Amino acid sequence: MKKLNSVCLAVMACISVPAMALNVQPDPNNSGAYLLDRAGLQAAEAALTSNPMYSVWAQALKTRSNTVVDAIVPGAATNPENVKRVERVFGQSEWDFLTQMAAPEYTYTRFLRAIGKFPAFCGDYTDGRNADAICKKSIVTAFAHFAQETGGHIAKDNVSDNPLRLEEWQQALVHVREMGWSEGQPGYTTGCGQNDWQNRRWPCADGQGYFGRGAKQLSYHFNYGMFSEAMFDGDATVLLNNPALVADSWLNLASAIWFFLTPQAPKPAMLHVIDRTWVPSQTELNAGIGYGFGTTINVINGGIECGEHNKNKGQPVNRIRYWEGLSHYYNIPLESDEENTCWQQTPFGSLNLDGAGEVLYTNWEANWEYYADRPGGFSFECKLVGYQTAYSALVEGDYEKCVTNFYGSHTGWPAVTVVDNLPPKDDKPPVDNVAAWEANKVYLQGDKASFNGKVYVAKWWTRGDEPNGTGPWELVTAAQ
């Protein structure tokens, strides 16, 4: 096996994150709500994402301004460095060779712009890895999947439909829209209009259809919304209101590059399988998941195409044929620890990850653990989970949105406002040597507290209930 870089090795470590010391106070302007110190919230987020891979993932998903992207044309001296690398290892002639049957909406200029949006695709490495070789392998891998997702699938000897006698691996990008669908059809709207967090974050537009478009056949409103946020500075509505852009602009290829770079926990990003930034955990190795083209199949569609029962299924068999044809043509070697197939792999979605602490997740969910020293027992924190939620650990600002329940996905979660500076506490002096009541403190039966010049005794367990002589508190000494 090749030597692993330090970031890769760090991923193998299982990090135990202690509970953070958060500063939470009742909101004086909102009964039953709380204020949370932003510095404490940021410290909690940093502790939960301290594994170096979170930084690697976030860096891989950084994008350039669309103004820069729109200026990219073949051969331009101003093209970004990763685009120049693509032009060097996969020039216009190579594009033309693999797209002789492609829809006219797919062009080499749009391909370069799609790549230019993401500096990490065909980007540089500072640890000795061969960036040109990784770039070429990434593009060829993408084309093998394009050939399955949007290919012609026409036999070479079917001269009537394939007069150029193209290999099937030369037949990628034939379809820019899902077969049977056209603009103006409001299809793939399952779940649209419901009062749930998905629609609050990614609201469907009336009359729009979210059927498959582009090289990766992007489908469903939540995927259009997430992709739109990545392309348009966090604005989900651009593509939700105009999904046709994913067919009729450079976004038709950028959607595939975006998917290529995005980890879907516990799945790694496809790029990091290819460049070996990802190191398979012991849990994954035990499930047969290692390096090679087969793992990229598992990332894309493992639940349907991987596992021994899918060994002879059409989709994975096609992908493997296309990869083997392309990799042979472009002289991409098969490393000793790589597998082109995934029939021997457990699909990622079927892995038993209970107790697998070395597997990293990328979505935030409310942490429902009980904290005796915090108001109401709430954690006022979020945790990382292995399923889709309204909040991503790879999107800046989403942790705060999770804690404040921005999209209303946490039923029963208290109202929380994050502030830069908490108001000073109103430290009441003790009465008759009885300490002042504290909102965050647990009081048991018989405990005393002073409040507003009076002394009260707890009749039973309580926390957060202001003493007033009713409920859990009994008046002992009135104000003098």
Q: What is the set of domains in the chain, with CATH numbers? A: 6-28+360-417 (no CATH), 60-174+263-350 (1.10.530.10), 426-480 (2.10.10.20)
* 338-365 pLDDT tens trace: 999 999 999 998 988 777 777 789 999 9
Residue 15: the pLDDT is 36
Q: What tokens appear for 371 in the block?
A: 């904290």
* pLDDT tens-digit map of 212-261: 999 999 999 999 999 999 999 999 999 999 999 999 999 999 999 999 99
Dist. CA 404–CA 422, nearest whole Å:
16
Asked whether the predicted pLDDT for residue 13 surpasses 70, the reply is no
| pLDDT of res. 436 | 84
Burial 425-439 (b: 16+ CB within 10 A, else e): eeeeeebeebeebee
For residues 166-178, give the mean pLDDT: 96
Catalytic residue at 149? yes
358 or 82, which is more confident?
82
User: Rounded CA gap, 257 and 36, in Å?
Assistant: 38
Alpha carbon distances (Å) from 294 to 156, 334, 339, 386: 25, 12, 6, 22
Residue 132 has pLDDT above 70, yes or no: yes
277-312: pLDDT as tens digits: 999 988 999 999 999 999 999 999 999 999 999 999
pLDDT of 370 above 70 = yes
Confidence at 18, pLDDT banded by 50, 70, 90: very low
Tell me: pLDDT of 11 over 60. no
Pairing mode, if any, of strands 391-392 and 363-366? antiparallel
Work out the pLDDT band at 180, boundaries 50, 70, 90: very high
- By CB neighbour count within 10 A (0-12 exposed, 13-18 middle, 19+ buried), where does 319 fall? buried
98-127 pLDDT, tens digit each: 999 999 999 999 999 999 999 999 999 999
Q: What percent of the chain has a predicted confidence (pLDDT) above 70?
A: 94
Q: Could you give the CA distance from residue 131 to residue 206 in angstroms, rounded to a whole number?
A: 45
Specify the pLDDT at position 410: 95
β-strands 382-385, 363-366: how paired? antiparallel
Torsion of CA 166, 170, 174, 180, to 10 degrees: 80
For the cut 60, the answer to whether the pLDDT of residue 77 exceeds it is yes
Q: Is 44's pLDDT higher than 60?
A: yes
Question: Would you say 36 and 403 are in contact if contact means Cβ atoms under 8 Å apart?
Answer: yes
- Please check whether residue 23 is in contact with residue 36, taking contact to mean a CB–CB distance below 8 angstroms: yes
- Lowest mean pLDDT, pick from 253-257, 259-263, 437-441, 451-455: 437-441
pLDDT band of residue 20 (cuts 50, 70, 90) is low
- At residue 167, does pLDDT exceed 80? yes
pLDDT score recorded for residue 452: 80
Q: Please identify which of the residues 149, 178, 284, 381 carries the catalytic annotation.
A: 149
Residue 8's pLDDT is 38
What's residue 427's pLDDT? Answer: 56
Weakest-pLDDT range from 225-229, 400-404, 436-440, 473-477: 436-440
Q: Predicted confidence band at 315 (pLDDT cuts at 50, 70, 90)?
A: very high
pLDDT value of position 95: 98
On the question of pLDDT at 76 being above 60, the answer is yes
* SS3 at position 142: helix
What is the percent of the chain with per-residue pLDDT over 90, rounded to a whole number?
77
In this structure, the strands spanning 363-366 and 34-37 are unpaired
* Under 8 Å between Cβ of 59 and 260: no
CA distance 147 to 160: 20
Q: Does residue 170 carry a pLDDT above 90?
A: yes
- Give 433's pLDDT tier (boundaries 50, 70, 90): confident
